[in-house]
Structure 1
Amino acid sequence: MALLQGFEEINMSVPTGKSIMTVTDSVVRFNKATAADLGYPAYVKILINDKTRQIALQVCTAKNGNAVKFSKPEGKQTTSVNIKDAVVLDALHKYFTLPEAPEGEVAYQSVPGVVYVEEKTIIFNADAATSGTMKKRGRKKNA
């Protein structure tokens, strides 16, 4: 329709917050906003661009050969998404140098992501990572 040529629809999806990826020595954690921004997908592909040092999450199906189990359905995903797969950790660790952590703490690097709604993709730039340490989560081990 020539009348509306050049117009674009207003995107009605409301941003849910900042998508954050946190890398530690034993887990890659994506905050709940990351799952929401992708539409709570059951599976994602994790892609790496070695030249630009970027990591991308892209929604896929279980049938994809490199699918990684990701989120529960909307309303059921109450916490961050944790990926502990050794292959994923090994691939990502070469982009992040974790600082030394004091006893009882865990070193991490955290990266904000850029959401591409149409492509159902979020891209994280490893060079934008910030370092820190946090208290260990989970149950305390008896001394």
Structure 2
Amino acid sequence: MAILQGFEEISTDVPTIKITMTVMESVLRFNKGTAEALGFPAYVKILVNAKTGQVAVQPCGAKEQNAIKFSKPEGKQTASVSLKDKALLDAVAKFFKLPEAPDGELSYQLVSGTLYPNEKIAVFTASEAVSGTMKRRGRKKASAA
């Protein structure tokens, strides 16, 4: 058809899953999309690149050295994945500066990741993180009245 000469069809096969990592003082959180994009792995390795300030997440087997319990199986993972391992937090926190948070709030750094689907690896670059604060979740502590 002459009218459509030079036009190209748009591919709709581009992955639309958004993957994010949130760094807080006591937790490293990955959104459910990260678990989905990686295939809901039961265990992962968290790798850091000190030169580039990047954090990578790579699925692995349970018996591999430095394997960290990560996701429930597909359909069972209903929320984000929270990791609270102290050594992990210390290694990742070096790349992120958490802002001061007002009383009753938590500070965080949120960074979107890049998925490498062929390798099933997610990479997060610290320099692209955005800072913020949020209200504390869970039970309220009894205030001294």
If the length of structure 1 is used for normalisation, what is the TM-score? 0.89
Number of the residue aligned with 2:41: 41
String of CA shifts for 1:44-77, please: whole Å, max 9, x gaps: 0000011111100001011111101000000000
Question: Shift of the alpha carbon at 1:108?
Answer: 0.1
Aligned ranges 1:97-136 → 2 under 5 Å: 97-136=97-136
Number of the residue aligned with 1:56: 56
Number of the residue aligned with 1:4: none
CA RMSD, Structure 1 to Structure 2 (Å) = 1.5
Question: Shift of the alpha carbon at 1:16?
Answer: 5.0
- SS of 1:106's equivalent in the other structure is strand
Equivalent-residue separation in structure 2 for 1:55 and 1:116 (angstroms): 13
Question: Shift of the alpha carbon at 1:118?
Answer: 1.0
Gaps of 5+ in 2: 1-10
Equivalent-residue separation in structure 2 for 1:33 and 1:139 (angstroms): 27
Q: How many residues are aligned here?
A: 133
What is the letter of the counterpart of residue 130 of structure 1?
V
After the TM superposition, list the runs of 4 or more consecutive aligned residues in structure 1 that deviate by more than 6 angstroms. none
Report the identity percentage. Answer: 61
Question: Shift of the alpha carbon at 1:83?
Answer: 0.1
Aligned ranges 1:64-79 → 2 under 5 Å: 64-79=64-79
Equivalent-residue separation in structure 1 for 2:135 and 2:77 (angstroms): 23
Gaps of 5+ in 1: 1-9
Question: Which of the two has higher C-alpha Rg?
Answer: 2
What is the letter of the counterpart of residue 131 of structure 1?
S
Number of the residue aligned with 1:32: 32
- SS of 1:139's equivalent in the other structure is coil
Equivalent-residue separation in structure 2 for 1:126 and 1:100 (angstroms): 18
**Residues 36 and 77 from structure 1, CA distance in 2 versus in 1: closer, same or farther, beyond 3 angstroms?**
same
- SS of 2:98's equivalent in the other structure is coil
